[in-house]
């Protein structure tokens, strides 16, 4: 299902329309799809940047309440890692069925415990 969605021309057109830039599919097989399974208390996906400019993130499952964790934390226009102390982080809670588009190569990001 994920591979089929990735190949949908409508998704590529949508990302192009949202970014205002030409967007192409990733040729590197190991970079096309990333599946993160964070299901134990305290699980996190540490701060990082991605090699490719854009990431479309889909949520199949997610905590119902933001206090349960699993929040996207990000610092737009920040590429310094580790994040310097005092860096202002934006935080977003998602629910199952949500999705977002992230400028992933110039926005340091992580998933909270």
- Which residue in 58, 1, 5, 51 sits closest to 28, CA to CA? 51
Per the confidence metrics, is the pTM higher than 0.95?
Answer: no
Preceding amide of 82 cis, omega within 30: yes
Give me 100's structure tokens: 């977002």
Is residue 56 included in any domain, yes or no?
yes
- What per-residue confidence (pLDDT) applies to 3? 82
Task: Report how many domains make up the chain.
Answer: 1
Contact 33, 3 (CB under 8 A): yes
- What per-residue confidence (pLDDT) applies to 29? 79
The CATH number for 106's domain is 2.60.120.620
Summarised one tens digit per residue, pLDDT across range 51-91 is 899 999 999 889 999 999 999 999 999 999 999 989 999 99
Is residue 11 included in any domain, yes or no?
no
Is residue 10 included in any domain, yes or no?
no
Identify which has the larger pLDDT, 17 or 25.
17
């Amino acid at each position: 299902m994920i591979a089929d969605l990735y190949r949908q021309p409508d998704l590529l057109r949508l990302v192009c329309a949202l970014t205002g830039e030409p967007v192409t599919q990733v040729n590197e097989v190991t970079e096309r799809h990333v599946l993160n399974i964070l299901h134990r208390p305290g699980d996190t996906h540490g701060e990082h940047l991605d090699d490719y400019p854009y990431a479309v993130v889909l949520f199949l499952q997610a905590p119902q309440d933001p206090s349960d964790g699993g929040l996207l934390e990000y610092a737009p226009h920040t590429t310094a890692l580790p994040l310097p102390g005092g860096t202002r982080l934006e935080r977003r809670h998602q629910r199952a069925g949500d999705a977002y588009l992230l400028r992933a190569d110039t926005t340091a990001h992580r998933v909270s415990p």
